[in-house]
Amino acid sequence: MDFLSGINTIKGVGPARAALLAKLGIRTIEDALFFFPRDYLDMTPLNFSQGNEERAGTFPCIIVDSAVDKKSKSGICITIVPVFDGKNRGHAIFFNQPYIKTNFRRGDRIIFTGRVRKNYGEYEIINPEWQRFDELSNEFDRICPVYSLTKGLSQKVLRQIMKEILKNCNAPEILPDEIIEKFNLIPRNVALKNIHFPKSFDMLEKSRERFVFEEILLFQLAMAQTRRELIGDERINRYVDIDIKPILSTLPFSLTPGQKKVIDEIISDLKSGQNMNRLIQGDVGSGKTVVACIALYLAAKNGLQGAFMVPTEILAEQHFMTLERILAPHGIKVDILKGKMTGNIRTTILNNIKTGRTGVVVGTHAIIESDVDFFKLGMVVTDEQHRFGVKQRRELIKKGHHPDIIVMSATPIPRTLALVLYSDLDISIIDTVPSGRQKVDTYVVGNDMRKRVYDFMVGEIEKNHQAYVVCPAVEENEMNVSNVEDLYMRLKKEYPDLKIQVLHGKMKNEEKDRIIKDFLSKKIQVLISTTVIEVGVDVPDATLMIVENAERFGMAQLHQLRGRVGRSNLKSYCILISDSKEEAARSRLNYMMKCHDGFEISLKDLELRGPGEFFGLRQHGFFELKLANHIKDLKLLENIKMLAVDIIERDKLSLKEYKPLAQSLNEKIFKRI
């Protein structure tokens, strides 16, 4: 089977189904194979009293009466199927699926899979999957994969597609035998089959370990290779003028001790014999941009140009205004370069950059386009670096004259983990925040308080403030969690006078930029969004962050969301809505109420959840580490880092047995932008 074949070559996948799969990023056979389950169901039979709301279980039942429909106050159609599990009576509950009742007759023996709750003393299994006893085959999966879905695609269909692919799959091995033996890993092909349909929980764990290892090794090889390329040469750009007193004297505020410490580290780098390659970490609002601005000032004063690359045009515009305000008084011309620019404006800016008239250019990916030529690029800054691939950073660096590099991140990561994750960089931490910044009051409330929460939101809007509402999903979903589309319709109905809009990652970039601009200009009062607003623009009048199903988010992620408000002197609030009874989830949410330090929160998150919060989608712009949240011990990270450094330093990727690994590194990382 050709891994690069289109998914439409698989039996049962026509044009309509292929379009749905494409929404999940599945376009080829390889995409499908590496679309790993987000969870697994233990299909060991239970009765309702053994079930709970936090985790789905499997319940063999008999239908004891006819299904009935009823309408909720909000207009949702609820189908109720009376069932008996051999010990307890209960109901299977389906939402907005009136047609489903025709599938069930009294006396039918059904296996339901889902979450169970008690409602007024009666057991209810909510939106369950189901199979008839007589449909079960000898190949019935005792451990069943649960995939992320999109509207119109069911677990049953996706599982069938995966089984069809795996029937004829023979995944090539990419690791040499010596690594497989040394780290006691199972073969890639065996791991691939058992990551989707595990023969046992032991095989599932071994499969996870195999792909965790593979993902981190590729990540660390990229880091090691990049570091060797970037700082291997002796410094060419000599800094003579390193006096920062002139720029400090014109700042409208004093630097914090944390900012001063990091600036000292930057100056030390610029005086050293090697190029700077430094990560600046800092909590939300710690003043990283000002520190980068001072570094760019030093580059300009030493006859070099600076480039500041950010992930969105809105951020580029905000940084442009900040840099121009600080640098222009010192005779440094700042320009902005955006993808939409055309005609004379773009031509003039490109000419300014090429001739050296521009001292600092701020922009998006437009900066690395082929027609952008620098006069003497000596300082490169990338903001929210997890959104840029290694290839993007390299493309920008190649345009330069042996440039020094600063990458910035507002995601606080414990230093022990950061040293491994960002092994190609030296690390600076801004550990203080500017005085006068107010703490964001944080509250955890249940669903019974939702009406009061949204009435409070209306009160904030009446003060001419703005609000964010964050949901874990875009559309109606099998997990029955809050989603952007339904909440938008509900709030529009309940508060028709409010100017409400939605924002999510499935929108085109142009549409997202337009909506954020409208929010900035107050054409929008309430923005209902997924976590695409987690890191982003500065909206000074946003004073309220509401997070629905807050238990679905990690603490570090909730802290980033909370950081979207409280960015001025206005009193701000973060309200986390959750009815979760799970002890660990309640503990995480309660900790958010009392702790506001991003580094402390990240340490607690690491303690409670493992390193996954820092590996997962945060790295999507570089290389999505899909399984690394299952690492229990940082020692494995350190061992893989040492292995990667050894492979690069001894040039093992050129050896015959390492060729598949070298090819995978090139295809999965260095070819990506």
User: 626 vs 37, 46, 215, 219, CA distance in Å?
Assistant: 10, 30, 8, 12
Tokens of 633: 């011990």
Q: Does one domain contain both 426 and 290?
A: yes
Q: Does one domain contain both 534 and 557?
A: yes
- Give the Cα separation of 535 and 409 in Å (integer): 10
Query: Can you give the pLDDT at residue 232?
Result: 58
β-strand pairing of 404-409 with 305-309: unpaired
pTM of the model: 0.67
Final residue in a domain of this structure, among 115, 140, 165:
140
Query: Can you give the pLDDT at residue 527?
Result: 95
Q: Is the separation of the CB atoms in 366 and 396 below 8 Å?
A: no
Residue, of 384 and 97, whose pLDDT is higher? 97
- Give the Cα separation of 382 and 371 in Å (integer): 20
Q: Does one domain contain both 403 and 288?
A: yes
What is the arithmetic mean of pLDDT over 192-211? Answer: 92
User: What is the rounded average pLDDT for all residues in the chain?
Assistant: 86
Number of independent structural domains in the chain:
3
Task: Return the closest-CA partner of residue 628 out of 428, 420, 479, 477.
Answer: 420
Q: Check whether 550 has a pLDDT greater than 90.
A: yes
Task: Return the closest-CA partner of residue 566 out of 384, 661, 441, 482.
Answer: 441
Is residue 513 in some structural domain?
Answer: yes
**Residues with Cβ < 8 Å from 504, sequence gap 6 or more?**
474, 484, 529, 530, 532
Residue, of 410 and 546, whose pLDDT is higher? 546
What is the arithmetic mean of pLDDT over 531-539? Answer: 72
Final residue in a domain of this structure, among 406, 430, 454:
430
What is the arithmetic mean of pLDDT over 125-135? Answer: 83
CATH number at residue 120: 2.40.50.140
Query: Can you give the pLDDT at residue 387?
Result: 47
Q: Does one domain contain both 472 and 558?
A: yes
Confidence of residue 615 (pLDDT cuts 50, 70, 90): very low
**Residues with Cβ < 8 Å from 203, sequence gap 6 or more?**
194
Confidence of residue 620 (pLDDT cuts 50, 70, 90): very low
Q: Check whether 439 has a pLDDT greater than 50.
A: yes
Q: Length of the chain in residues, anyone?
A: 673
Q: Does one domain contain both 424 and 454?
A: no
Residue, of 503 and 232, whose pLDDT is higher? 503
Range of the domain at 356: 229-430
pLDDT tens by residue, 146-187: 898 888 898 889 999 999 999 888 888 999 999 999 999 999
E-assigned strands of 394-465?
A: 404-409, 426-430, 441-445
Q: Is residue 610 packed enough to be buried (19+ CB in 10 Å), middle (13-18) or exposed (0-12)?
A: middle
Tokens of 537: 């623009």
Query: Can you give the pLDDT at residue 106?
Result: 93
Query: Can you give the pLDDT at residue 673?
Result: 38
Query: Can you give the pLDDT at residue 116?
Result: 93
pLDDT tens by residue, 365-413: 889 888 999 999 999 998 865 445 556 667 788 888 889 999 888 777 7
Q: Check whether 444 has a pLDDT greater than 90.
A: yes
Q: Check whether 652 has a pLDDT greater than 80.
A: yes
Is residue 20 in some structural domain?
Answer: no
Final residue in a domain of this structure, among 577, 595, 613:
595
The lowest-confidence range among 21-30, 220-229, 240-249, 305-314 is: 220-229
Confidence of residue 338 (pLDDT cuts 50, 70, 90): confident
What is the arithmetic mean of pLDDT over 333-338? Answer: 94
Query: Can you give the pLDDT at residue 625?
Result: 53
Is residue 130 in some structural domain?
Answer: yes
Query: Can you give the pLDDT at residue 534?
Result: 58
Q: Does one domain contain both 353 and 261?
A: yes
| Residue 256: DSSP 8-state | P
CATH number at residue 342: 3.40.50.300
Q: Does one domain contain both 253 and 400?
A: yes
Q: Which helix (H) or strand (E) holds 110?
A: strand 109-119
Query: Can you give the pLDDT at residue 646?
Result: 93
